[in-house]
């Protein structure tokens, strides 16, 4: 049990909740990092910066979050480290910061980025998950920055990704595939 220090009266606070219908749409957003944490990689052989990004504009999406922005800072895989450091450098340039010692230096500095839907995935639990909104491109203050707004054309709703349950194909399907063309003959040949 943890004491709060004083009684909290929930009736003194606004409890209005907004319903969010799915992921953020594809578009150009003004964003800011609201929290960050350096964490070890799953193998323990490196570190990454995990960030929570909040939408500043467009107004109708203000306050919405993007949680899956991780930057490999150190990694046993040199390619993964290179990609992570390039992405992190792009974030810093978009914010207008050249050197960072503490991730809190990145907090609450607005930047502009292209947000798009990532690839669907299958979790460790075997369930399929649709693609989540992620940062696809950063725009830098010293280049032409596009207008903030939602793309006219949005991706279609995704069908769930089938999890591989490692079960063999049904016998009927194997038999049909095997009888489609005689062994040793090309299907297009005579």
**Number of alpha carbons in the 13 Å side-chain half-sphere of residue 126:** 3
SS3 category, 67: strand
pLDDT, tens digit, 9 for 90 and up, residues 125-178: 999 888 889 999 999 999 999 999 999 888 776 554 454 555 555 554 444 444
Residue ranges per structural domain of the chain: 23-145
- Range picked from 9-18, 103-112, 161-170 for highest mean pLDDT: 103-112
More confident of the two residues 118 and 5: 118
Confidence of residue 121 (pLDDT cuts 50, 70, 90): confident
pLDDT over 70 percentage in the chain? 78
Report how far residue 85's alpha carbon sits from residue 162's, in angstroms, rounded to the nearest whole number: 33
Q: How many residues does the chain have?
A: 190
* Interval 72-104: pLDDT, tens: 999 999 999 999 999 999 999 999 999 999 999
Mean pLDDT score, 38-56: 93
**Is residue 180 pLDDT above 60, yes or no?**
no
The contacts found for 86-93 with CB under 8 angstroms, 24 or more apart, are 88/49, 90/138, 90/140, 91/138, 93/138, 93/140
Q: Is 100 helix (H, G, I), strand (E, B) or coil?
A: coil
């Amino acid at each position: 049990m943890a004491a709060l220090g004083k009684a909290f009266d929930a009736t003194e606070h606004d409890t209005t909740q907004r319903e969010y219908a799915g992921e953020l749409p594809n578009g150009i957003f003004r964003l800011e990092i609201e929290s960050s944490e350096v964490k070890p990689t799953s193998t323990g052989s490196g570190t990454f910066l995990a960030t929570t990004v909040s939408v500043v504009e467009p107004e109708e999406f203000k306050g919405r979050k993007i949680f899956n922005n991780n930057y490999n800072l150190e990694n046993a895989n040199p390619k993964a480290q290179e990609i992570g450091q390039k992405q992190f450098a792009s974030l810093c340039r978009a914010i207008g910061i050249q050197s960072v010692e503490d991730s809190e230096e990145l907090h609450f500095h607005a930047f502009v980025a292209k947000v798009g839907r990532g690839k669907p995935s299958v979790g460790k639990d075997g369930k399929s998950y649709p693609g989540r909104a992620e940062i696809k491109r950063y725009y830098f203050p010293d280049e032409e920055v596009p207008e903030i707004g939602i793309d006219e054309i949005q991706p279609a709703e995704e069908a769930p990704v089938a999890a591989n349950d490692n079960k063999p194909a049904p016998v009927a399907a194997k038999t049909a595939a095997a009888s489609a063309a005689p062994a040793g003959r090309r299907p297009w040949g005579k």
